[in-house]
Amino acid sequence: MRVLEKITRRSTDVLGWIAGVMILGMMLLAVLDVVLRVLFFAPIIGATEIIQILNVGIVLALGAGTVKNQHVTVDFVMDKAPKVPRFYIQLAVDVVNMAILVLMAACSFWFMKKSQAQGYTYSLLRIPEWPFVGLIAIGLLGGVIGVICNMFRQFLEFKAEKAVEKSREETEQ
């Protein structure tokens, strides 16, 4: 399990770095486009399309955020729930989350193939769509792997807590 978690962390970290570079590029391009448009009346042709393409970076960061538990959660209800129901509720949420991500990744791969076969391109720059749709699918798969790692980690933590509780009960008797 530790080897799988290490591989997952490294691969999602790489995707996270790629996402960061893409998002940084998107922001810099937007600023540069505005500056050129205002000062020189010469906007960057296709800047809007390039920024849309670079939005793929947000999805690439999904796996890294999932593995590191950096997503937004509302814990005030779950923190008050007993350990056993909390574990099973979180397990159910993770299973639903994983199913949705798998479905989205499968649809993205399907659309990538369709986009490639039919030659879909972005309208202004004529850049093929399919590589970016493939990156979205890879980002979604990173999210799936992150959810699986979190599920295993939560299971091991739950199992360890149960073992500690059981040993406490045995020492008290």
What single DSSP character describes residue 121? B
Q: Residues 19, 60: contact at Cβ < 8 Å?
A: yes
Q: Residues 79, 58: contact at Cβ < 8 Å?
A: no
List 128's β-bridge partners, or say none: 121
What's the pTM value of the predicted model, to 2 decimals? Answer: 0.84
Q: Tell me: the pLDDT tens digits for 56-98?
A: 988 988 888 888 877 667 677 777 888 888 899 989 999 999 9
Which amino acid is located at 97 in the chain?
A: N
Which amino acid is located at 47 in the chain?
A: A
Expressed in angstroms, the distance from the first to the final Cα of the chain is: 34
Q: Tell me: the pLDDT tens digits for 121-166?
A: 998 899 999 999 999 999 999 899 889 988 988 898 899 888 888 8
**Per-residue pLDDT band at 1 (split at 50, 70, 90):** low
Position with higher pLDDT, 113 vs 11: 113
Q: Tell me: the pLDDT tens digits for 153-164?
A: 889 889 988 888
Does residue 51 have a pLDDT over 90? Answer: yes
